[in-house]
Amino acid sequence: DGGITQSPKYLFRKEGQNVTLSCEQNLNHDAMYWYRQDPGQGLRLIYYSQIVNDFQKGDIAEGYSVSREKKESFPLTVTSAQKNPTAFYLCASSPETGYNYGYTFGSGTRLTVV
């Protein structure tokens, strides 16, 4: 079945460490997105990519980095510069064209700083 796979489901990070969250899709979607979800704040866009080897900052990109070397993959690195990384991270994808299409979401990664 086509879909988006995020891994790991739970991730613990020590202070000062970089960690990478995986997002893989087999939907042949061009566009991919990373969102952060905090309680009571809804979803906030971190980065998005509409095509391989290109990506754009979202509303809260500071302290995060991404790459898009393959159409299927859009990993997110949470760097030590991100001062409050504990959150639920959601990856999504969509056909590049057509704003009538919805996103397909992964099941999320819960990151906790220990």
- Applying CB under 8 A, the residues found at the interface with other proteins are 4, 6, 31, 33, 40-43, 45, 48, 50, 56, 58, 90, 92, 94, 96-100, 102-108
Q: Which residues contact 68 (CB under 8 A, 6 or more apart)?
A: 32, 49, 51, 52, 53, 54, 55, 74
Q: Which is nearer to other proteins, 38 or 69 (CB)?
A: 38
Nearer of residues 82 and 109 to other proteins, judged by Cβ: 109
Residue found by looking up tokens 């080897």 in the block: 53
Q: Decide: 32 and 96 in contact? Cβ < 8 Å.
A: no
Closer to other proteins at the Cβ: 22 or 50?
50
Which residue has tokens 């460490």? 17
Q: How far is the CB of 113 from other proteins (least distance, A)?
A: 19
